[in-house]
Amino acid sequence: MSVLTRCVLTLAVGVAVYAAPVAGAGPAPDGPRLISVAPGPGRVVELVVHSAAMAKAVTVAVLPAADRSAKAPVLYLLNGVDGGVGPAGDWRDGGNWITRADADSFFAGKQVTVVMPIGGAGSYYTDWRADDPVLGRQRWTTFLTRELPGVIDAEFHGTGANAVAGVSMAGTAAFQLALAAPRLYTAVGSYSGCVSTSGPQGHAIVNTVVSGQNGDPVNMWGQPGDPLWAANDPFLHAERLRGLAIYVSSGTGLPGALDTVDGPGLDGDSMKLVDQLIVGGALDAVTGLCTQQLAARLRDLAIPATVDLRPNGTHSWGYWRDDLRHSWPMFAAALRVG
């Protein structure tokens, strides 16, 4: 049984509530630093950044603003459960915003720096309470909110305006990061995210995602019932999202225009299409309901949000590519991109 199939079986148990974060521990004494800068494919500039918090080097793929010599705001795009890397550990053959959602071509000519961290599979991009025997030291909240922004702003002339968005697992993380660092971001987005962290359903979903990458969820937020689970639940803390520009989207799991053998990323492979229809359909059936829950919660709190619940579509990159384009006007306005 595949990891994705196990996720579907767990998600089918019920619909999770929307979820958010604990501020990460402070950076280690040696501090973050830029190790190297190298050209990548297309317009990509590949950075290697030392994270003091995680005591390791992290690869970051960056799409520079149209005019790299001028100041530009920053959009952080987070990948899903596999961290955007392929089977060999290389992002170039993995499923991520650049390889599957045409981020390079879409942002060409726009005065915004797009930052895509590589790695973090099954981590929820959060700060774990303990090192994991398999996944190692996970201090992504600290890295993404306290270490990386300074490096990016220095190298790419940041304006101080930032936004963050994520797909699937990283939809949870985007909201958690926005709550962990409320003055860092002006906008937050989730595409096909179901960010449950507290309660039996939330525990089941998080446990499945983390254990699917061979990690131990106890090392993340402790045993079920530990206060860290509720502390990392944006649905419970939605009031703190007030003032942010918010975008959430999802399909409903019903087959759509991109769910054909010639659809994006399917390469004419009928078996890939079957997997997308069955597994991807089940996943977005759940995330669609989660999106409705979050939308209702925000309405009750009178917090404005852009909600794009498509009438069809599966849990797949072709739809997320389109969602990114639909959400860009909101992000552009929040970041003041002309």
262-306 pLDDT, tens per residue?
889 888 889 999 999 999 999 899 889 889 999 999 999 999 999
Q: What rounded mean pLDDT belongs to the chain?
A: 90
**Cβ neighbours of residue 227 under 8 Å, at least 6 residues apart?**
none
Distance of CA 215 to the CA centre of its chain: 18
pLDDT band at 203 (very low <50, low <70, confident <90, very high): confident
> Apex CA 188: angle with CA 182 and CA 191, to 5°?
145
Q: Kind and range of the H or E element at 149?
A: helix 148-156
pLDDT tens, position by position, 7-52: 444 444 333 333 333 333 344 457 899 999 999 999 999 999 999 9
pLDDT tens, position by position, 121-175: 999 999 999 999 999 999 999 999 999 999 999 999 999 999 999 999 999 999 9
**Among the four given CATH numbers 1.20.1050.10, 1.10.10.10, 3.40.605.10, 3.40.50.1820, the one describing domain 3-335:** 3.40.50.1820
> Apex CA 313: angle with CA 308 and CA 317, to 5°?
90
| Domain boundary assignment for the chain | 3-335
37, β-bridge pairs: 47
Helix axes 3-11, 199-212, angle to 10 degrees: 180
pLDDT band at 5 (very low <50, low <70, confident <90, very high): very low
Distance of CA 178 to the CA centre of its chain: 12
Alpha helices in 213-268 (DSSP H): 218-221, 227-231
127, β-bridge pairs: 139
> Apex CA 283: angle with CA 286 and CA 7, to 5°?
110
Q: What is the pLDDT of residue 334?
A: 98
Q: What is the pLDDT of residue 223?
A: 92
Exposure class string for 274-301: b at 16+ Cβ within 10 A, else e: ebbbebbbbbbbbbbbbbbbbbebbeee
Q: What is the pLDDT of residue 257?
A: 95
pTM: 0.91
Q: What is the pLDDT of residue 204?
A: 82
Distance of CA 133 to the CA centre of its chain: 24
Question: 91 vs 30, which has greater pLDDT?
Answer: 91
Rg (CA), the chain: 18
